[in-house]
Protein backbone atom coordinates (compact mmCIF):
# COMPACT_ATOMS: atom_id res chain seq x y z
CA UNK A 1 0.00 0.00 0.00
CA UNK A 2 1.43 3.37 -1.02
CA UNK A 3 1.16 6.26 1.44
CA UNK A 4 -0.78 9.28 0.21
CA UNK A 5 1.05 12.62 -0.01
CA UNK A 6 -2.25 14.51 0.30
CA UNK A 7 -2.85 16.21 3.64
CA UNK A 8 -6.31 16.59 5.09
CA UNK A 9 -7.40 20.05 6.20
CA UNK A 10 -8.05 19.93 9.96
CA UNK A 11 -8.02 17.49 12.88
CA UNK A 12 -9.39 18.18 16.36
CA UNK A 13 -7.96 16.40 19.40
CA UNK A 14 -9.98 16.31 22.62
CA UNK A 15 -7.70 16.76 25.64
CA UNK A 16 -4.24 18.20 26.13
CA UNK A 17 -2.75 15.51 28.35
CA UNK A 18 0.18 13.39 27.22
CA UNK A 19 -2.08 11.20 25.07
CA UNK A 20 -3.66 14.22 23.40
CA UNK A 21 -0.32 15.90 22.76
CA UNK A 22 1.16 12.76 21.21
CA UNK A 23 -1.95 12.22 19.11
CA UNK A 24 -1.75 15.81 17.86
CA UNK A 25 1.91 15.35 16.95
CA UNK A 26 1.21 12.19 14.93
CA UNK A 27 -1.78 13.81 13.21
CA UNK A 28 0.36 16.82 12.25
CA UNK A 29 1.98 14.57 9.62
CA UNK A 30 -1.40 14.10 7.93
CA UNK A 31 -3.34 17.34 8.52
CA UNK A 32 -2.65 20.96 7.59
CA UNK A 33 -3.94 22.12 10.99
CA UNK A 34 -4.33 20.27 14.30
CA UNK A 35 -6.33 21.87 17.11
CA UNK A 36 -6.18 20.61 20.70
CA UNK A 37 -9.26 21.32 22.83
CA UNK A 38 -8.50 21.33 26.57
CA UNK A 39 -11.09 22.27 29.18
CA UNK A 40 -8.54 23.38 31.78
CA UNK A 41 -6.43 26.52 31.54
CA UNK A 42 -2.91 25.55 30.52
CA UNK A 43 -0.06 27.26 32.38
CA UNK A 44 3.25 28.27 30.86
CA UNK A 45 5.07 26.07 33.37
CA UNK A 46 4.43 22.58 34.74
CA UNK A 47 1.71 22.75 37.38
CA UNK A 48 -1.29 20.56 38.26
CA UNK A 49 -4.55 21.21 36.40
CA UNK A 50 -7.98 20.76 37.94
CA UNK A 51 -8.96 17.93 35.58
CA UNK A 52 -5.64 16.07 35.84
CA UNK A 53 -5.90 13.05 38.18
CA UNK A 54 -2.87 12.08 40.29
CA UNK A 55 -1.17 15.30 39.23
CA UNK A 56 0.90 15.50 42.41
CA UNK A 57 2.12 11.88 42.27
CA UNK A 58 5.43 10.73 40.87
CA UNK A 59 5.06 9.43 37.31
CA UNK A 60 7.40 7.33 35.26
CA UNK A 61 8.01 6.95 31.58
CA UNK A 62 9.42 3.54 30.74
CA UNK A 63 12.20 3.01 28.22
CA UNK A 64 10.02 1.86 25.32
CA UNK A 65 7.59 4.76 25.80
CA UNK A 66 10.47 7.21 25.68
CA UNK A 67 11.84 5.45 22.59
CA UNK A 68 8.51 5.83 20.75
CA UNK A 69 8.11 9.47 21.83
CA UNK A 70 11.66 10.26 20.69
CA UNK A 71 10.69 9.34 17.13
CA UNK A 72 8.34 12.34 17.14
CA UNK A 73 10.29 14.59 19.52
CA UNK A 74 14.02 13.87 18.91
CA UNK A 75 15.23 16.31 21.58
CA UNK A 76 12.87 15.01 24.28
CA UNK A 77 15.30 12.87 26.35
CA UNK A 78 17.80 15.70 26.69
CA UNK A 79 15.06 18.28 27.36
CA UNK A 80 13.61 16.09 30.12
CA UNK A 81 17.01 15.68 31.77
CA UNK A 82 17.87 19.37 31.39
CA UNK A 83 14.65 20.30 33.18
CA UNK A 84 15.02 17.96 36.14
CA UNK A 85 13.61 14.57 35.15
CA UNK A 86 15.49 11.68 36.73
CA UNK A 87 16.64 8.84 34.48
CA UNK A 88 17.31 5.68 36.49
CA UNK A 89 16.88 1.94 36.81
CA UNK A 90 13.78 2.46 38.93
CA UNK A 91 13.60 -1.12 40.26
CA UNK A 92 17.00 -0.53 41.86
CA UNK A 93 16.58 3.08 43.00
CA UNK A 94 13.01 3.22 44.34
CA UNK A 95 11.36 1.80 47.44
CA UNK A 96 8.26 -0.29 46.57
CA UNK A 97 5.47 -1.07 49.03
CA UNK A 98 3.25 -3.92 47.89
CA UNK A 99 1.29 -6.72 49.54
CA UNK A 100 1.98 -5.50 53.07
CA UNK A 101 5.71 -4.88 52.84
CA UNK A 102 8.61 -3.30 51.04
CA UNK A 103 9.91 -5.19 48.03
CA UNK A 104 13.59 -5.97 47.64
CA UNK A 105 15.43 -3.69 45.22
CA UNK A 106 17.00 -5.28 42.17
CA UNK A 107 18.72 -4.26 38.95
CA UNK A 108 16.25 -4.47 36.11
CA UNK A 109 18.60 -3.03 33.52
CA UNK A 110 15.82 -0.91 32.02
CA UNK A 111 15.92 2.85 32.35
CA UNK A 112 12.86 4.82 33.37
CA UNK A 113 12.40 8.58 33.39
CA UNK A 114 10.78 9.88 36.59
CA UNK A 115 8.93 13.20 36.89
CA UNK A 116 5.62 14.72 37.97
CA UNK A 117 2.59 14.32 35.73
CA UNK A 118 2.37 18.05 34.93
CA UNK A 119 6.08 18.04 34.03
CA UNK A 120 5.61 14.99 31.80
CA UNK A 121 2.87 16.67 29.76
CA UNK A 122 4.65 20.03 29.74
CA UNK A 123 7.93 18.47 28.59
CA UNK A 124 6.21 17.04 25.53
Q: Is residue 51 in a domain? A: no
Q: 80 and 120: one domain?
A: yes
- Residues 123 and 63 placed together within one structural domain of the fold: yes
Give the distance, in angstroms, between the CA of residue 24 and the centroid of all CA atoms in the same chain. 13
Number of domains in the chain: 2
Mean pLDDT for 27-35 is 96
If asked whether residues 64 and 96 sit together in one domain, one would say: yes
Where does the pLDDT of residue 55 fall: very low under 50, low under 70, confident under 90, or very high at 90 and above?
low
- Tell whether 52 is covered by a domain: no
Element holding 123 (H helix, E strand): helix 117-123
Q: Name the phi and psi angles at 26, rounded to 5.
A: -65, -45
Same domain flag for 76 and 106: yes
What does the angle CA 4 – CA 64 – CA 53 come to, to the nearest 5 degrees? 95
DSSP string over 71-102: HH-TTHHHHHHHTT-EEE-HHHHS-EEETTEE
Say if 46 falls within a structural domain.
no
**Average pLDDT estimate for 19-35:** 95
What pLDDT does residue 48 have? Answer: 66
pLDDT at 22: 92
Same domain for 90 and 36, yes or no, is no
- 93 and 119 assigned to the same domain: yes
Same domain, 32 and 66: no
Does this model's pTM top 0.75? no
3-state class of 52 per DSSP?
coil
Both 37 and 63 in one domain: the answer is no
E strand intervals along the chain: 8-14, 31-37, 58-62, 86-88, 96-98, 101-103, 112-116
Which range marks the domain in which residue 73 is found? Answer: 57-124
Q: Kindly tell me if the per-residue pLDDT of 1 is higher than 70.
A: no
pLDDT number for residue 2: 60
Q: Is residue 96 part of a domain?
A: yes
Among 38-42, 51-55, 60-64, the least confident range = 51-55
Amino acid sequence: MKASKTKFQQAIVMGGSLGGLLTARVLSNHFEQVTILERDAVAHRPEPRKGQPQARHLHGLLANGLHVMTRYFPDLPQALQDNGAIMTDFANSMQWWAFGGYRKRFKMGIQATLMSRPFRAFGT
